[in-house]
């Protein structure tokens, strides 16, 4: 990890495409995960102490830095940091708290930024030599909002190549022989390891949902366009969204809402609806269980854990499945067509800028990314239009499900994080990406002392009431886990 203002004492030079730290080259780290016992790095809980003077943002930051010094040599969540810049911002924040005038809900919060998004004080490299050392001279939209609110932009978190292809060397914070997932690899690992309370992520397929599940984070994959993703280097404008990983639901929601209120949503989108404070828990009358295409590839232990979870949930609320309702069965069958919708759209999106990058020198792109381009070389406007039509039909069908229940529940991942550097199967994240609907990750289960998460999905622009249902489900599930 490099620091733009000097050495951190950690000799971990992560240049773009220094991708594959081989298994066995870092110390083994294993920490047992239990959802009811895992101690999380909350931020908003500390604000009361900031205001009383018993704690302050600089001290909070220094505790984060101590954890980074301990964990980062193994977890490898960061590309570059600006520790001295964060310290200066923390001192300014501490002064505001002493004077009783914090700028916002994120004032003094240490935050990581996925390295697909521009930062004025650090390079943005997208895990590619195409952007090695590149600095735009500006902040991405959400970074600008965070900085304006007094957040401490501590560092850039690792990502797969352009958020699409080869992985970084990031390890799972609970087992260093396993992946942290991707493409929001460093974001998931940094929050999961307790290095940061919040970090930004993005998703075109499963890049928020899956790594959050692997690393035991709460996470919001919002309605498409709800949070401005301007200033990013992603290749998936048709499905790509900006979201947040956090140690708590409160930090997740209140950070996301602050950013959306400050900088808005994507152009031509109404932005994130709701209120600034995390909503009160609201038990839904019923939930819809969705198996999706992911069930076909889900490991037996994960199936058993989810079946048990849903069985117990059924004692609290009515659980409606494909066996109970013809519309849900129709939706389940339709969702199996997601690959035919997603891949033509993603590949069509990738043509620019990936074709110019390839033309400038194939050696600057990984074999994985080159193979994607070759496989879908002949995708054209007619293919994209057909995919749009199919997607519209899927979304219309899903919108009917709100008449049964506004809350759907599915797994986040087919099993615990795989051993090795592969980022895992994004199949469960594909659903909300294609539907353009919100999903909230709840890290409420474990297998073999590794995280297993569920996601709560809802209708477009219903992120806030979905968060209320998710809060109730998280509270219930953690009581269940505690026995």
347 is catalytic: no
Spatial distance between the Cα atoms of 446 and 93, rounded to a whole number of angstroms: 37
By C-alpha distance, which of 256, 202, 205 is closest to 466?
A: 256
Quote helix, strand, coil % in the chain, to nearest 5.
Answer: 40, 15, 45
The pair of structure tokens assigned to 16 is 């773009």
Residue 223 Cα to chain centre, angstroms? 13
Angle at 172 between CA 209 and CA 84, to 5 degrees: 95
**Residue 311 token pair:** 């069985």
**Distance from chain centroid for Cα 78:** 15
- Go through 197-224 and write b for each residue having 16 or more CB atoms within 10 A of its CB, e for each that does not: bbbbbbbbbbbbbbbbbbbbbbbbbbbb
Q: Three-state SS for 452?
A: strand
E strand or H helix at 66: helix 57-75
Of 409, 47, 436, the C-alpha closest to 223 is: 436
Integer-rounded Cα radius of gyration of the chain: 21
What's the rounded Cα separation, in Å, for the pair 119 and 191? 20
Of the listed 200, 207, 236, 238, which one is catalytic?
207
d(CA 16, CA 115): 11
Catalytic residue flag (residue 14)? no
Catalytic residue list contains 183: yes
Q: How far is CA 426 from CA 158, 170, 186, 415, in A?
A: 18, 17, 17, 11
| The two three-digit tokens of residue 147, written as one number | 């900085």
The answer to whether residues 218 and 441 touch, using CB atoms and an 8 Å cutoff, is: yes
DSSP character for 227? S
Give me the residue label for tokens 């397929």: 205
Place of tokens 């899903």: 398
Can you tell me which residue has the tokens 């995960």?
Answer: 33
The catalytic position among 114, 156, 221, 229 is 114
Given 104, 176, 183, 347, the catalytic residue: 183
Under 8 Å between Cβ of 168 and 14: yes
Active site residues: 114, 183, 207
């Amino acid at each position: 990890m490099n620091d733009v203002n000097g050495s951190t004492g950690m000799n971990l030079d992560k240049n773009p495409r220094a991708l594959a730290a081989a298994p066995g080259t870092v110390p083994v780290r294993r920490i047992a995960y239990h959802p009811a016992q895992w101690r999380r790095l909350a931020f908003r809980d500390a604000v009361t102490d900031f205001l009383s003077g018993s704690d302050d943002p600089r001290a909070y930051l220094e505790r984060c830095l101590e954890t980074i010094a301990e964990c980062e040599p193994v977890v490898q969540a960061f590309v570059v940091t600006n520790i001295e810049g964060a310290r200066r911002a923390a001192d300014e924040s501490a002064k505001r708290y002493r004077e009783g005038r914090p700028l916002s809900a994120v004032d003094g919060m240490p935050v990581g930024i996925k390295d697909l998004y521009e930062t004025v004080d650090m390079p943005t490299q997208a895990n590619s030599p195409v952007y090695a050392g590149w600095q735009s001279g500006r902040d991405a939209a959400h970074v600008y909002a965070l900085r304006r609110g007094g957040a401490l932009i501590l560092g850039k978190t690792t990502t797969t190549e352009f958020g699409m292809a080869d992985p970084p060397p990031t390890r799972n914070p609970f087992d260093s022989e396993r992946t942290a997932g991707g493409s929001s690899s460093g974001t998931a690992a940094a929050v999961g390891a307790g290095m940061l309370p919040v970090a930004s992520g993005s998703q075109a397929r499963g890049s928020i949902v899956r790594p959050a599940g692997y690393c035991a984070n709460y996470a919001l994959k919002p309605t498409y366009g709800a949070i401005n993703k301007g200033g990013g280097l992603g290749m998936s404008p048709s499905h790509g969204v900006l979201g947040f990983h956090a140690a708590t639901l409160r930090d997740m929601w209140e950070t996301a809402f602050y950013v959306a209120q400050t900088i808005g949503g994507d152009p031509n989108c109404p932005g994130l609806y709701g209120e600034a404070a995390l909503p009160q828990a609201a038990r839904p009358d019923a939930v819809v269980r969705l198996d999706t295409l992911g069930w076909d590839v889900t490991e037996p232990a994960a199936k058993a854990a989810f079946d048990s979870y849903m069985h117990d949930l059924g004692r609290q609320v009515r659980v409606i499945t494909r066996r109970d309702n013809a519309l849900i069965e129709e939706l389940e069958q339709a969702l199996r067509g997601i690959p035919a919708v997603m891949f033509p759209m993603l590949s069509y999106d990738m043509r620019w800028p990936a074709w110019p990058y390839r033309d400038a020198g194939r050696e600057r792109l990984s074999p994985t990314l080159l193979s994607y381009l070759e496989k879908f070389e002949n995708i054209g406007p007619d293919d994209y239009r057909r995919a749009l039509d199919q997607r519209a039909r899927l979304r219309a069908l899903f919108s009917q499900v709100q008449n049964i229940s506004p809350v759907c529940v599915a797994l986040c991942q087919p099993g615990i994080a795989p051993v090795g550097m592969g980022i895992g199967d994004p199949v469960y994240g594909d659903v909300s990406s294609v539907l353009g609907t919100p999903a909230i990750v709840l890290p409420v289960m474990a297998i073999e002392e590794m995280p297993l998460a569920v996601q709560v999905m809802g209708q477009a622009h219903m992120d806030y009431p979905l968060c209320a249902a998710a809060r109730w489900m998280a509270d219930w599930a953690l009581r269940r886990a505690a026995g």
